[in-house]
Amino acid sequence: MRVLVMEFHQESNSFCPVKTVFDDYSRCSVLEGENIFKKVRGKKLALAAMLDALDEAGITIVPGYAMRAPAGGIVEHVVVEHFLQKMEKAISDNMPLDGAFFSMHGATQSTQVDDVCGSILQKARKLLGKKAVISVSCDLHANVTDLMFKNADFICGYLTYPHMDIYETGYRAAKLGIRKLQGDNNLHMAWTRLPMILPACGYSTESDELGEIMQNLKNLKQNGVLEDYSVFQMQPWLDVSNGGSAIIAIARDQDTAMHYAKETAQSVWEIRDFMKPKLHDLEEVIELAKTCKVDKPLVVIDFSDSTNAGAAGDNFDIAAYILNNAGNLKTATVINDAPIVEKAFSAGVGAVLDTYIGGSRDKKRSTPVKVKAIVCSLHDGKFLLEGPSMRRVNCNIGRTAVLSIGNIDVVACTAMASTGDPQLFRHFGIEPTFYQIVIVKANNSYRPAYEKIADRICLVDTHCAATSFLETLPFKKLPGFFHPFSKSAFPEEFRVVLSK
């Protein structure tokens, strides 16, 4: 048997004004053919897990094309067309193929297509034929559409948030695909949607109401009732007409799969009002910081400007407030600001820049701040992630300058990514535990690392493109009856459960 492996991975934020282009992919990862084996094997990635599962089964792997970019604005459609051309060539050059396994984010929008992942799978199905097995791994924040469901045999999503099971999800998807390839035709997938979006900083799969639902599903799988399950909370800053959160249940008969898909959807719908963040104002943050232990910082979560959520990462509001109101507090922060980085490289280490910082990418939501900055060090922006998720995976945030502005040390970069990983500071000489305040631009990915070293963690909403106040964003396509825009009952058209 022969199986093609492919990847197209990017999480789109419809409200970020900066489009995602091919350079964003090439900076992160673009691999073709044998290079997939060389660069992916041994990493804690979904694609690596697919390779391992296929190797274990003795199935011939056909390495196709793999593109990965950080979260950001919607993708220029020419990038999607490029991937589709590469996929078509990989399939036509290697037929016959028994299947194709895809690593995707699942919430990708382009300048021409709202459902990029669905269109990719539709094209793959047309090229491969009805008998080929298509299995897909997705992020928990995927927008799993009817088009994706119709064209994939199996779809598996991360079961953890913060995401700690990226490799495991790829392995699950591959193992289900392999089982069908080996003749197990009693695997049935059911899918249903929920008309809701939730702020990503407002919940976790490890605790509270959602954690209980995930544990119940885990028990059903352990007891053999379900073969697999996924609870998708759609990326909430995705403005598409075919959006929605979704439930996938896979069982050995259709009735069981459909029953638990429907039951889980109802359970998730009932807890929608509980999944909200507890927010702090900046006056409170400063007072709390003054009481923190010497070796444990107050970690301020600037989630609405998180590039992990596709925001611009160029907001300096929190740091500016600290600078003006508590300038004695030693603070570390990070910012996406190509203009100030270029000035730092031009001036050199030791130079003093009398300039503006912030507001260079999302000019609608972020305001430039006048500062006097000392250039402390200059870097190429390449480093390895600390993890635990994606440990030792390469990260490239572009040319980077470390700046000192009063008592605030700033990692200024040109392509911010992996904001919840402490190496975003540590690699550039900033040790978080040496600071009284550390500003982290992440929604939930910070938890595994920063909860261990923080005295306290405070969430602050700076009203950027990943704000928790979803009602304030200019949605045009997502239906108005969605939660939280409407308090209406669960619409009947969303109670449909499809299965196969």
Helix axes 317-325, 282-289, angle to 10 degrees: 60
Specify whether 341 is located in the same domain as 455: yes
pLDDT at 102: 99
Cα(289)–Cα(22) distance, integer angstroms: 41
Specify whether 232 is located in the same domain as 336: no
How many distinct structural domains can be found in the chain?
2
The answer to whether 156 touches 169, Cβ cutoff 8 Å, is yes
pLDDT at 346: 99
Specify whether 228 is located in the same domain as 311: no
Asked whether residue 481 is assigned to any structural domain, the reply reads no
Asked whether residue 152 is assigned to any structural domain, the reply reads yes
Specify whether 347 is located in the same domain as 210: no
**Which regions in the chain score pLDDT beneath 70?**
none
- pLDDT of 164-177, one tens digit each? 999 999 999 999 99
pLDDT at 288: 94
Cα(423)–Cα(457) distance, integer angstroms: 18
- pLDDT of 252-305, one tens digit each? 999 999 999 999 999 999 999 999 999 999 999 999 998 887 789 999 999 999
pLDDT at 292: 80
Give the three-class secondary structure for 136: strand
Cα(308)–Cα(348) distance, integer angstroms: 30
Radius of gyration (C-alpha) of the chain in whole angstroms = 23
Taking the alpha carbons at both ends of the chain, their separation in whole angstroms is 23
Residues contacting residue 81 through CB under 8 Å, at least 6 positions apart: none
Specify whether 131 is located in the same domain as 18: yes
pLDDT at 325: 96
Asked whether residue 439 is assigned to any structural domain, the reply reads yes
Cis peptide bond N-terminal to 388, omega within 30: yes
Cis peptide bond N-terminal to 96, omega within 30: yes
Specify whether 237 is located in the same domain as 116: yes
Cα(455)–Cα(436) distance, integer angstroms: 9
What CATH number corresponds to the domain at position 262? 3.40.50.2300
Specify whether 26 is located in the same domain as 80: yes
Burial 287-322 (b: 16+ CB within 10 A, else e): ebbeebeeeebbbbbbbbbbbbbbbbbbbbbbbbbb
Specify whether 398 is located in the same domain as 371: yes
Q: If phi over 0 gives left and psi between -120 and 50 gives alpha, with beta otherwise, what is residue 458? A: beta
pLDDT at 76: 99
Asked whether residue 475 is assigned to any structural domain, the reply reads no
- pLDDT of 385-440, one tens digit each? 998 888 889 999 999 999 999 999 999 999 999 999 999 999 999 999 999 999 99
Residues of the domain holding 149:
2-275+495-499
Specify whether 233 is located in the same domain as 361: no
Specify whether 209 is located in the same domain as 173: yes
Specify whether 287 is located in the same domain as 267: no
Specify whether 56 is located in the same domain as 129: yes
pLDDT at 206: 87
